Amino acid sequence: MTEFLDKSAGYLPILLQGAVITISLTICALILSTLLGLIWALMRYSGLWPLVMISKGIVNGVRGIPILVQLFYIYFVLPDFGIDLTAFQAGTLGLGIAYSCYMAENFRAGLEAIDKGQIEAAQTIGMKWSLMMRRVILPQAVRTVLPPYGNTMIMLLKDTSQASVITVADLTMKGKLIAASTFDNMTVYTLVALLYLALSIPLIALASYLERRFGPR
């Protein structure tokens, strides 16, 4: 145990640098996926055939491609088209697009849970679509969306580890580098696992709170 603690003291500063990158990547990808997911969901909810088909095509297409393949494509293939991104930017874009599809399904479920009678009432009094969304639909949809949104945040945090394959210097990449140079796999990956758990615990607590506060009663 003493040996483990001594080694950990030497590894932790480097791993914590990677943890900062992991947190930053999670936040950036979460913002992007939330914005895109809301757009896909509103397109699907609009009832306009072209928008519905575009939204379905994007969501189903992206969900059918592994995240690793999407990351490889963005980082290694897009430069052939003149789009050069840093590893962090490619990781943010890849994870953001991939998770936007899961977000879109969460948002769509929230939108479709709204009582149709309230929508008809809003239309009866002459509310425009944009005003109805802001005043009637979205505020109620949030209650349905928040619990699964919390769970999706946890999944996204863990999946940031996949960005290490395109050289993002996150927690997983730092762990790989230390393990490769020290051959101390047990200590390094135990610390990596504990750090991911430490990062996940606040999100797990938040997801549990959201489920209790806004979930079905």
**The pLDDT of residue 81:** 92
Range of the domain at 41: 2-214
The 3-class SS string of the chain reads: CHHHHHHHHHHHHHHHHHHHHHHHHHHHHHHHHHHHHHHHHHHHHCCCHHHHHHHHHHHHHHHCCCHHHHHHHHHHHHHHHCCCCCHHHHHHHHHHHHHHHHHHHHHHHHHHCCCHHHHHHHHHCCCCHHHHHHHHHHHHHHHHHHHHHHHHHHHHHHHHHHHHHHCCCCHHHHHHHHHHHHCCHHHHHHHHHHHHHHHHHHHHHHHHHHHHHHCCC
Per-residue pLDDT of the chain (217 residues; tens, 9 = 90+): 677 777 888 899 999 999 999 999 999 999 999 999 999 998 988 878 999 999 999 999 999 999 999 999 999 999 999 999 999 999 999 999 999 999 998 888 887 777 777 777 777 777 776 777 777 777 777 777 888 888 899 999 999 999 999 989 899 999 999 999 989 999 999 999 999 999 999 988 888 887 777 655 5
**The pLDDT of residue 215:** 59
Write the CATH number for 40: 1.10.3720.10
Q: What sign does the CA torsion over 15, 199, 184, 2 have?
A: positive
Q: Which residue's entry shows tokens 């209650």?
A: 143
The string over 50-76, giving b where at least 16 C-beta atoms fall within 10 Å of a residue's C-beta and e elsewhere, is ebeeebeebbeebeeeebeebbeebbe
Structurally, the chain folds into a number of domains equal to 1
**The pLDDT of residue 123:** 72
Determine the length of the chain. Answer: 217
Q: pTM to 2 decimals?
A: 0.88
**The pLDDT of residue 154:** 92
Tell which phi-psi region holds residue 128, choosing left (phi > 0), alpha (psi between -120 and 50) or beta: beta
